[in-house]
Amino acid sequence: MTKLAFLGAVGTVTGSKYLLNTGKRRILVDCGLYQGFKQLRLRNWATLPLDINSLDAVVLTHAHIDHAGYLPLLMRHGFKGPVYCTRATRDLCGIMLPDAGHLEERAAEDANRHHYSKHDPALPLFTEEDARKALRQFRALDFAEELALGDGAKVTFRYAGHILGAAMAEIERQDRRILFSGDLGRPNDPIMRPPEVIEWADYLVVESTYGNRKHPRSDAQDVLAEIINTTAHKGGSVVVPSFTVGRAQLLLYHLYHLKMAKRIPDLPIFLDSPMAMDAGEVFRSHPKDHRLTVSEARAVCAVAKQTPTIEESKEIDRNRVPSVIVSASGMATGGRVLHHLRAFAPDPRSSILFTGFQAGGTRGAAMVAGAQSVRIFGEDIPVRARVANLEMLSAHADADEILNWLRHFDRAPRQTFITHGEPEAADALRKRIERELRWSCTVPAYRDEAELEL
């Protein structure tokens, strides 16, 4: 009897980890960091609730830190097996994991320098070198390529949309199948391929980030144009905390079309994230994984002035010419965007524009909820700028889109496990699936374990 343990992304949208134990093989599907609330982030420092020495392989759905960010720690604690993922995911992790380690080191250095940590000394969760060592264990596969995992199990990656390289992980054994949705993308995303149609699975693990709501149907370019024009007219700048992979490229796509149509002023657009710059190169190198032609991808990426150096980044804040500043991170949890928020959040002429889901406990969630100040580098920074969140730019399918994707199944899974959502979202999706599809569903809790006939 195969067992499935839920070690993350239950009761929350972060820390994705699922342990599949066939009896002879132990496979970890995703290996993400917890983000947001402190009580969740503390799990990143705790002992992982599994025997790492018994782990045979990791199957990785995509490169986002909440799915891949724990891998450097897993290797540091002794895991020596392979990490299987798509080619674009491998290339993106080659950018994102070392960058995450670098940011951890910088944050620890800043905390020690300015004495705003309770720990003495403050330490990084992992280092850039830890991340680079972890990348040596990656093994890349093509979409639709089958790979034997041992004990009769095999894995195949299917397009999930969401971001470049994002996959659903389809694991089969003894003519039975469990499907891990990973993060499902949007069917009509202008740059990413839609989630692949899946006809059956005996067991399904499906995300529920937006399981209790629908994305706004307003046109993203209309809303972007209004905010940029209004802000520029007042003499302010638009700061966009952006996820570096997927969202940054989508933003540049919309900004490019707005500029070409002369719907916004010819103001400077900055891409102030070295990782987003590198991700743009990866984006252009995997044309089969997205909708844009090579020439379109090149033009979209060229719409912004790239500012790779720290001095160029600082100059943006010193030069108060109205501009659009796209910078990481998407939930304002770290990175260069914190310096821009410290500079522009107190300015009532400016705007702070978030572009998707904000996990509870993050600065982004606090600002979207109307916080009058946020703490940055040990200081309370007042928020007087206009704050908005363009949820229509989300890379996650909403409740209707998830249901429409599920309706392509020829038959109901034996069991559907609803994960990767806040409690209200996961339970709302459970109710809709039970009511509209009449499938058997459950919302697992942290460290729950299910027996599968697999």
Q: Does domain 220-392 have CATH number 3.40.50.10890?
A: yes
Q: What are phi and psi of 134, to 5 degrees?
A: -60, -35
Q: What is the pLDDT of residues 132-191, one digit of tens each?
A: 999 999 999 999 999 999 999 999 999 999 999 999 999 999 899 999 999 999 999 999
Q: What is the pLDDT of residues 210-254, one digit of tens each?
A: 999 999 888 999 999 999 999 999 999 999 999 888 888 899 999
Would you state the structure tokens that stand for residue 262, as one six-digit string? Answer: 């002369």
Could you tell me which of 311, 322, 241 has the C-alpha nearest to residue 276?
241
pLDDT band at 276 (very low <50, low <70, confident <90, very high): confident
Q: In CATH, what is the architecture of 2-213+395-452?
A: 4-Layer Sandwich (3.60)
Tell whether the model's pLDDT for residue 105 goes beyond 80: yes
pLDDT (0 to 100) of residue 122: 81
Tell whether the model's pLDDT for residue 103 goes beyond 70: yes
pLDDT band at 38 (very low <50, low <70, confident <90, very high): confident
- Per DSSP, the three-state class of 211 is coil
Tell whether the model's pLDDT for residue 322 goes beyond 90: yes
Looking only at the bridges linking them, the beta strands covering 26-29 and 449-452 are unpaired
Strand order of the sheet with strand 238-241? 305-306, 269-272, 324-327, 238-241, 351-354, 386-389
Check if 2-213+395-452 and 220-392 are the same fold: no
pLDDT band at 361 (very low <50, low <70, confident <90, very high): confident
Which residues make beta-bridge pairs with 86?
A: 141
pLDDT band at 338 (very low <50, low <70, confident <90, very high): very high
pLDDT (0 to 100) of residue 291: 92
pLDDT (0 to 100) of residue 384: 98
Q: Domain limits of the chain? A: 2-213+395-452, 220-392
Verdict on whether the full-model pTM lies above 0.85: yes
Q: What are phi and psi of 103, to 5 degrees?
A: -65, -35
Q: Is residue 13 within 8 Å of 423, Cβ to Cβ?
A: no
Report the distance separating Cα 97 and Cα 64, nearest Å: 9
Q: What is the CA radius of gyration of the chain?
A: 21
Write out the DSSP string of 65-109: HHHHTTHHHHHHTT--S-EEEEHHHHHHHHHHHHHHHHHHHHHHH
Q: What is the pLDDT of residues 299-314, one digit of tens each?
A: 998 999 999 999 999 9
pLDDT band at 117 (very low <50, low <70, confident <90, very high): low
Tell whether the model's pLDDT for residue 433 goes beyond 90: yes
Q: Looking only at Cα atoms, what is the longest distance across the chain?
A: 65
Q: What size, in residues, is the chain?
A: 454
* Cα pseudo-dihedral 68, 73, 75, 77, rounded to 10: -150
